[in-house]
Structure 1
């Protein structure tokens, strides 16, 4: 059975050449692509780069209203064109050339809401390591933290039924919020391990000690810790605020949004972030976010 599938990429001051690579991989796999711009300074360069492409629509959002708002715009666009599934992408992520083909086996169930790939993130797992893994063909996702927005094939009808993405979150935990709603409503999230997506989360800094320990022990915790992504203080504010909102809103929110995990995570940042970053300002931002969670409206 053939399904109508499109893709949407959220843009914010994208690196044009990297965005071109992203689009080229998707272009032959889906029927149409929407580039939704969140108020980029280089929007004219984006328009110039893709003006000669058929089946690519560029929508200028003028103002940055956040990733959740942009994803809802993509969702509404897909629905208006009667697409059943939309692949949501970050501007700096690159997916497999056969991702839609690999996903297509899982589209028949009316209970599947989201389909995601194996994620190669910040060099924590290399492509060579991924190919050597003895992974099952697919996995059922029950932890809402384990499925991210980028390269996620989203069932348009189900997602709209669940009121889409929560605009109030702006950025961070937007995908976790949707995943919680999906799982609480009794729908399924499938991870297809036969396909992948390469993602860069922030500027990664390698920690040689953890890299060595991971090689010696093979422990997953060192694999995750050997590269730390560095975020702005504002991004840390949103992460702190939104992760607490997730904890307070959903019973099954996942271990990585628990208070203990988040505290350990921020302590890890404090130790391994660049020395020129003010730890006082970092913690002020995170504490402010922690206190502000009540301003978020339930989506």
Structure 2
């Protein structure tokens, strides 16, 4: 089983190094798609590209999150990766997050596995107190996951066949609603999404860097 991770970067800050190192050893390949970043970002990406076995794709301008994700997905499909993980450049995976996601999926009845296309981790917004991972509790029924209708793109682990079934990300959407529209299409086809409670991702929700993007407002229905 081969797993790759797609990280879309745009004018990264000091947190990126920690985020990159947290995920690089949990997957077989890291694909970084840069969306027209500044010189400092490009210099750093060139540096890690020389040090680690990553795939670096550079866009000359900001093409939007959907376009960049699709570039990474096309590379992953061409190179026969079984699972594709999408990550923001400021989200930090906890140790064993990816293996926990795979192991939990494998513990599900085989017939039900066929209906599941995407897996989400439990997101913790940075700034909230969680000094001990034991503070992340399971629900009363001790279930490891729940079915969800949608969640954010960062930390989403997808089967490769997802893109054969529903297609790529909607490039008419620059940033806003890309994740929810994608999830909507999965559900519309009759497939399911699960959110785990024992795999954790630290996420910087709504950070100020997003204000640098030119947002497009589109109706998705």
**Matched positions, count:** 211
Would you say 1:111 and 2:141 are equivalent positions? no
Q: Call closer, same or farther: CA 1:62–1:233 in 2, change over 3 Å.
A: closer
Residue 138 of structure 1 is matched in structure 2 by: 145
Q: Call closer, same or farther: CA 1:130–1:70 in 2, change over 3 Å.
A: farther
What SS is found at the alignment partner of 2:161? helix
Q: Call closer, same or farther: CA 1:100–1:38 in 2, change over 3 Å.
A: same
The answer to whether the Cα contact below 8 Å between 2:31 and 2:55 also exists between their aligned partners in 1 is yes
Higher helix share: 1
Residue 182 of structure 1 is matched in structure 2 by: 186
**How much has 1:118 moved relative to structure 2?**
0.6
Larger of the two Rg values belongs to structure: 1
Would you say 1:62 and 2:60 are equivalent positions? yes
Give the whole-Å Cα distance in 1 for the aligned partners of 2:177 and 2:169. Answer: 10
**How much has 1:95 moved relative to structure 2?**
1.0
**How much has 1:140 moved relative to structure 2?**
1.1
Give the whole-Å Cα distance in 1 for the aligned partners of 2:209 and 2:60. Answer: 27
- Which among 67, 79, 82 is matched to residue 81 of structure 1? 79
Q: How does 1:87-102 map to 2 (within 5 A)?
A: 87-102=85-100
The answer to whether the Cα contact below 8 Å between 2:32 and 2:55 also exists between their aligned partners in 1 is yes
Higher strand share: 2
Would you say 1:41 and 2:38 are equivalent positions? yes
Calculate the TM-score normalised by the size of structure 1: 0.65
**How much has 1:129 moved relative to structure 2?**
8.4
Deviations 1:169-216 (A, max 9, x none): 01111010010000111111111110111111234xxxxxxxxxxxxx
**How much has 1:73 moved relative to structure 2?**
0.8
Give the whole-Å Cα distance in 2 for the aligned partners of 1:97 and 1:199. Answer: 14
Calculate the TM-score normalised by the size of structure 2: 0.86
Structure 1: gaps spanning 5 or more residues: 204-228, 250-299
Cα RMSD over matched residues? 2.3
Give the whole-Å Cα distance in 2 for the aligned partners of 1:231 and 1:29. Answer: 27
Residue 26 of structure 2 is matched in structure 1 by: 29
The answer to whether the Cα contact below 8 Å between 2:138 and 2:198 also exists between their aligned partners in 1 is no
**How much has 1:234 moved relative to structure 2?**
6.9
Residue 172 of structure 1 is matched in structure 2 by: 176
Q: Call closer, same or farther: CA 1:48–1:230 in 2, change over 3 Å.
A: closer
What SS is found at the alignment partner of 1:59? strand
- Which among 144, 158, 169 is matched to residue 154 of structure 1? 158
Structure 2: gaps spanning 5 or more residues: none
Larger RCO of the pair (alpha carbons < 8 Å, separation 6+): 2
**How much has 1:231 moved relative to structure 2?**
6.4
Deviations 1:28-82 (A, max 9, x none): 1111101100000134322343033332111101121100001111110100100
